Structure 1
Amino acid sequence: MKRFLPVLGALVLLVAIVGAVVWQRPDSSPEAIAAGDVVVQHADGSLLWRSGQPETPLVGQVLRELVAVGTPLDRLREAGGALVVTTIDAKAQTGATEVVRQLTSGRPASITAIDPSTGGVRAYVPGTDPAADYAGGVVREAGAAARPFGSVVLMRAAGVPERAQVDGRDTELLGTEAALLRPLDVATAYATVGADGVHHATHFVTHVTEAGGNTLYRAATGGKPALGTDPGRSKEFAARVNEELRADPLCGNTPDAACLPVEVKDGDVVRHAWMIGYTPRLAVVVFVGGESRPDVQGRPVTGTGLPNDVLLAFQEKLMAW
């Protein structure tokens, strides 16, 4: 992960540039929306989804968020249509999709990437099966991914909800010391650490504009200290975690890159593995499920094996941009 810092810095610069010009694009103007049509865009204004098309797991996350913020899809369509701009970076999403497809051999796997400074989800690739969501639609034992937080109470402070809708069911996440988390939750927690202990609510939607041009919703991106109202206490906690995780040789020699490989086992068999890598600019979590047998290219499902290869390949995609 030696190139982690410049890679993620370049991605954030790209997102800032495209975000500044998105409303100058003719094809993203509210007038381009057909009556009753709801258009969902990437952060750069390119098309992500249009109402009437099949719903992917990513689109499902966006639509659930629209319900949560008071602008559900049906209401937007009845009002004459709307434009929904998301936090998803089109190139990061494409790169992550290619990596998961090429490297995971059809295993349950996902890549989730969050901007620690805003809480915006930059990439959300929940696997290769369009009917499954291995980023936000499953819960798995967190294992050592929860260790730096010490307890479920501190994970809650870092932004992990106590309960969530998982595969259509209300699911308890932090009910016991053995936290059961979605990859999305793991990325949320480490994004808070990457932001020096300041939590920014994880979100997929930047803003919603009706067909007439009025803004119906805009996400708040301000943060708050994870540990109460004292930012110094939260920053001290994050500094301790960062110091520990930056010492891993897998992180290379980039000063502010941190990483944590995690394996959850039954005896000698790895049930699933996480690879966590983050800087103050991007927090990335790779999840790979399955037994510990190697994949078709001989990579074992261990934290330092296939999940780490997936993370490195995703970084290479970012570098190419």
Structure 2
Amino acid sequence: MKRFLPVLGALVLLVAVVGAVVWQRPETSPEAIASGDVVLQHADGSVLWRSGQQETPLVRQVLRELVAVGTSLDQLRDAGGALVVTTIDSKAQAGATEVVRQLASGRPASITAVDPANGGVRAYVPGTDPAVDYAGGVVREAGEAARPFGSVALMRAAGVPESAEVEGGRTKLLATDAALLRPLDVATAYATFAADGTHHDTHFITHVTEAGGKTLYRAVTAGKSVLGVDPGRSKEFAARVNEELRAGSLCDTYAEAACLPVEVKDGDVVRHAWMIAYTPRLSIVVFVGAESGVEVQSRPVTGTGLPYDVLRSFQEKLTTW
């Protein structure tokens, strides 16, 4: 009996440990997906969205990317359901959401953050109006944000598409001298500078797994040098831009950070402003519009005003920057 008790105790402990592991298994593991259910996850495995819930602008971006990679929400439902793992960092997303609500509520505003090392979108907060996507669904004049590239050709090479779906239709982005860009395009382009001239395709989806556990899609994150005729010249061009943008004082409290405040005006009146900041780990773009009729509750919409406040507040919420 004495020999049996320790063995029994060990068995009880083993059952308890296994039970705890099973109980703690994420509800949205491939095996746990209900038939026909499609679940979007943050990068850490927490739930971002489940089919049947309201589609936010971020969710619509992910669903459009599903179509672009050869499937769709309806196809995944018909196939029995799927798990879609996104690139979105849950903590960065929550932090950006809080900052936009606190500092820019009521204004056209957004925060977009892209990982220069692989092109993954880490945070995508397109404002506080769920009907309007101020990160990837509107275009605004780029102004001085386009200057470091020197040419339209280099902007296309750095990841800015010739056209994009904007407000229900296709819009040409680089058809005129005054480049019309989405905040997502600006974050993508500057991520190329942050990666020393290497561009990685910007994407929202890491991989898609069917309910049975089979991987249906996995993003390819290989990069290519795009700012010169060869990798050496591409890196050299990026280094010159990085040196110039790191010379200012706006981001000097952050090692390796480069900053560029941009105002776009009609005469002396600011229409909108961009605050661009990046390190080798993250490319961040803050957009704030200055449309008339919006009561000013904070600093003015200038490059070093409200957009800069939004940027700094977001940076303070990041675990890595």
Q: SS state of the match for residue 27, structure 2?
A: helix
Name the residue aligned to 1:52.
52
Deviation, structure 1 residue 320: 10
8 Å CA contact 1:292–1:302 kept in 2: the answer is no
Structure 1 residues 320 and 259, CA, compared in 2 at 3 Å: closer, same or farther? closer
Name the residue aligned to 1:271.
271
8 Å CA contact 2:227–2:238 kept in 1: the answer is no
Greater relative contact order, per chain length (Cα 8 Å cut-off, separation 6+): 1
CA distance in 1, matches of 2:254, 2:316: 15
- Deviations 1:111-132 (CA, angstroms, capped at 9, x unpaired): 0000000000000000000111
- Deviation larger for 39-48 or 229-238: 229-238
8 Å CA contact 2:105–2:128 kept in 1: the answer is no
Deviation, structure 1 residue 214: 0.4
- Deviation larger for 286-295 or 211-220: 286-295
8 Å CA contact 1:127–1:133 kept in 2: the answer is yes
Name the residue aligned to 2:99.
99
Deviation, structure 1 residue 137: 0.3
- Using the size of structure 2 for normalisation, the TM-score is 0.90
Name the residue aligned to 2:238.
238
- Using the size of structure 1 for normalisation, the TM-score is 0.90
8 Å CA contact 2:111–2:123 kept in 1: the answer is yes
Deviation, structure 1 residue 297: 4.0
Matched, 1:317 2:321: no
Deviation, structure 1 residue 296: 4.0
CA distance in 1, matches of 2:31, 2:266: 56
Matched, 1:176 2:187: no
Q: SS state of the match for residue 250, structure 1?
A: coil
Deviation, structure 1 residue 25: 4.0
Deviation, structure 1 residue 254: 3.5
Name the residue aligned to 2:110.
110
Q: SS state of the match for residue 251, structure 1?
A: coil
- Deviation larger for 38-47 or 289-298: 289-298
Name the residue aligned to 2:209.
209
Name the residue aligned to 1:14.
none
CA distance in 2, matches of 1:320, 1:122: 12
Where do 1:138-153 residues align within 5 Å?
A: 138-153=138-153
CA distance in 1, matches of 2:269, 2:293: 9
Q: SS state of the match for residue 233, structure 2?
A: helix
Structure 1 residues 207 and 319, CA, compared in 2 at 3 Å: closer, same or farther? closer
Deviation, structure 1 residue 176: 1.6
8 Å CA contact 2:262–2:274 kept in 1: the answer is yes
Unaligned runs of 5+ in 2: 1-23
Q: SS state of the match for residue 240, structure 1?
A: helix
After superposition, the CA RMSD in angstroms is: 1.8
Q: Percent identity?
A: 81
CA distance in 1, matches of 2:154, 2:180: 14
Name the residue aligned to 1:18.
none
8 Å CA contact 2:281–2:320 kept in 1: the answer is no
CA distance in 1, matches of 2:299, 2:26: 46
- Deviations 1:184-206 (CA, angstroms, capped at 9, x unpaired): 00000000110000000000000
Deviation, structure 1 residue 295: 5.9
The structure with the largest alpha-carbon Rg is 2
Where do 1:288-303 residues align within 5 Å?
A: 288-291=288-291, 296-303=296-303
Name the residue aligned to 2:120.
120
Deviation, structure 1 residue 255: 3.9
Unaligned runs of 5+ in 1: 1-23
Name the residue aligned to 2:83.
83
Name the residue aligned to 2:165.
165
Deviation, structure 1 residue 252: 1.2
8 Å CA contact 1:292–1:300 kept in 2: the answer is no
Q: Which amino acid aligns with 1:130?
A: P
Name the residue aligned to 2:9.
none
Name the residue aligned to 1:15.
none
